[in-house]
Structure 1
């Protein structure tokens, strides 16, 4: 479930990034309100994900999803997309997937917290 929270948090980051642009420096009240709400929900989901996912991995993936998503939305909305930009987007996606794969392997080799606690009577 933590990975779903992280994915949603990253996608909401795309929303609040564009909301900040639409708010015109927080001078437009409706886009500003939407941006603040998306930002709060995004960070709540991100914090929830970090309960189970290491902070380095979680933060890298969170910002990676936001970065890739924002660039892709920008391209769809008419920003230029040259070969180098697409190459670097692919590299970011590869890094995100790689961190997820490595993190999944680490999670399966970790012992649950209950097993790491000292046995009863040894405290």
Structure 2
């Protein structure tokens, strides 16, 4: 379930990143509220993810998915898509896949146990 949460958190990161642009520095009410909700949900999911996935791997994938998604959204909105940008985007995706392949998932600890 951690990997599903991680993908959802990354997608929500794309949403709140785009929301930041549309909120105009948090001066537009509705986009600002939507952005704040997406930020909260994204980090809530990420907090759950790091209970079962190594934090370094989880954070790199979380931010990588957000970066890839935001760049793709920017390209879809008319930003440049030259071969260099696409090359480095591909390198980032390969890195994300590589981190997933070498990750060691850890079991979720019982919520009733206290930290020693």
TM-score normalised according to structure 1 size: 0.85
**Superposed counterparts of 1:1-123, under 5 Å:** 1-103=1-103, 106-107=104-105
Runs ≥4 residues deviating over 4 A: 110-113
Say which structure is richer in helix: 1
Secondary structure at 1:26 match in 2: coil
Return the structure number with greater relative CO, CA threshold 8 A, min gap 6: 2
Larger-gyration structure (1/2): 1
Deviation at 1:95, TM superposition (A): 0.4
Q: Deviations over 1:58-102 (max 9, x none)?
A: 000000000000000000110000000000000000000000011
Q: In structure 2, what is the Cα distance between the partners aligned to 1:31 and 1:56? A: 31
Deviation at 1:49, TM superposition (A): 0.5
Q: In structure 1, what is the Cα distance between the partners aligned to 2:81 and 2:13? A: 21
Number of aligned pairs?
110
Q: In structure 2, what is the Cα distance between the partners aligned to 1:58 and 1:112? A: 15
Could you say if the C-alpha distance between residues 16 and 102 of structure 1 is closer, same or farther in structure 2, counting changes exceeding 3 Å?
Answer: same
Q: In structure 1, what is the Cα distance between the partners aligned to 2:90 and 2:45? A: 25
